[in-house]
Amino acid sequence: MIKNITYKPFGVKAILIEWQSIIDDKILEDILLFKQKITSTNNTEIVDIIQGYNSLTIVYEHFVSNFNDEVHQLKLIYASTLKKKKQNNFQWVIPVCYDVTFGIDLEEISQKSNLAIDEIIQMHSSALYKIYFIGFLPGFLYLGGLDSKIYFDRKPNPRLNVPKGAVGIGGKQTGVYPNKSAGGWNIIGKTPVNFFDVEKENPCFAKAGDFIKFKSISLDEFYQLEKEIQVKKYQLIKTLHNA
């Protein structure tokens, strides 16, 4: 339990709950637990819950007629104990080909930082990344845990077409473009894995609180995996990861 959580109206159909303005694992845990408690009340008035680094936004079906009453209810839920078992978190292994064919900005960031391309790849693929939440695009994971030695500022002019599966570094963040999109991150590789599949009951395999580990693969392996994924023969490697 963390003190100093604030509640603000966000329009007339949503309430914004905010924690201290820092990116912090304890805050994430608290947010996820609160979210699970709210979900388990099965309140049909609540139609969505939007998570950020230090916030939850509760979206209601109708106008919140009495803000103070609603906040009081939320505070009671926060203070309650979760009856259900805490949900499992997984660690997902994401194969990434860091070949310069795909890692089109590797040479530039290597020159600017005086780090060898291999060192950048090594640092990027050895860290364990925590999923804070999903936003920006369907299936775009906000990851924490990038090695500070490979923080690289976003490109001054965003590209209009970053391909699906591109792995990038934007400032202190790293992530995968789940679909073709405009974007200003430095592109260091590509994964053949689908991060968003609308045909699946759960369109994104990962969720906030899970972990991501990138695994460096060769060009040949990339094309092989791409084929396997296309014919749905590939099974992502996941392991249980409960703190």
Partner 1 sequence: MLKVLKSGFFTTIQDKGRVGFASVGVPISGSMDSYSADLANSILNNSVNCAVIEITLGACKLEFTKSTTICISGGDFSPTINNVAISLNKRILIHPNDILSFSKINYGIRCYLAVKDGFLSEEKLNSRSFYPNITKDFLLRKGDSIPYKEVDNGIETSKASIKINRNHFMTKVIECYKGPEFDLLNNHQQKEIFNTTFTISKDNSRMGYKLNEAIENSLSQILTSAVLPGTVQLTPSGKLIVLMRDCQVTGGYPRVLQLTEKAVNQLAQKTTSAVFQFSLISI
Binding site for partner 1 (CB under 8 A): 8-12, 14, 16, 18, 21-23, 47-55, 57, 59, 67, 133-140, 142, 178-179, 196, 198, 202-204, 207-208
Q: Which is nearer to partner 1, 120 or 143 (CB)?
A: 143
Minimum CB distance to partner 1 smaller for 103 or for 209: 209
Of the two residues 2 and 23, which places its CB atom closer to partner 1 in the complex?
Answer: 23
Nearest-approach distance from CB 9 to partner 1, in angstroms:
5
User: What span, in angstroms and rounded, lies between the C-alpha atoms of 17 and 80?
Assistant: 17
Residue 117 beta carbon to partner 1: minimum distance, rounded to whole angstroms:
29
Distance CA 110, CA 93 (A): 25
Based on CB atoms, which residue is closest to partner 1, 123 or 163? Answer: 163
- CA geometry: angle 40, 197, 144, nearest 5 deg: 65
Q: How far apart are CA 107 and CA 121, in angstroms?
A: 12
Q: Quote the least distance from Cβ 199 to partner 1, whole Å.
A: 9
Residues in contact with 189: Cβ distance below 8 Å, sequence separation at least 6, in sequence order: 96, 97, 98, 99, 102, 103, 106, 121, 124, 166, 167, 214
Q: Which residue has the tokens 């014919």?
A: 231
- Least distance (Å) from partner 1 to the CB of residue 45? 12
Q: Which is nearer to partner 1, 9 or 158 (CB)?
A: 9
Minimum gap (Å) between residue 231 Cβ and partner 1 = 20
Is the CB of 5 or the CB of 121 nearer to partner 1? 5
How far are the Cα atoms of 99, 181, 192, 193, 224 from residue 230, in angstroms, in the given order? 21, 21, 9, 10, 10
Minimum distance from CB of 81 to partner 1 (Å)? 23
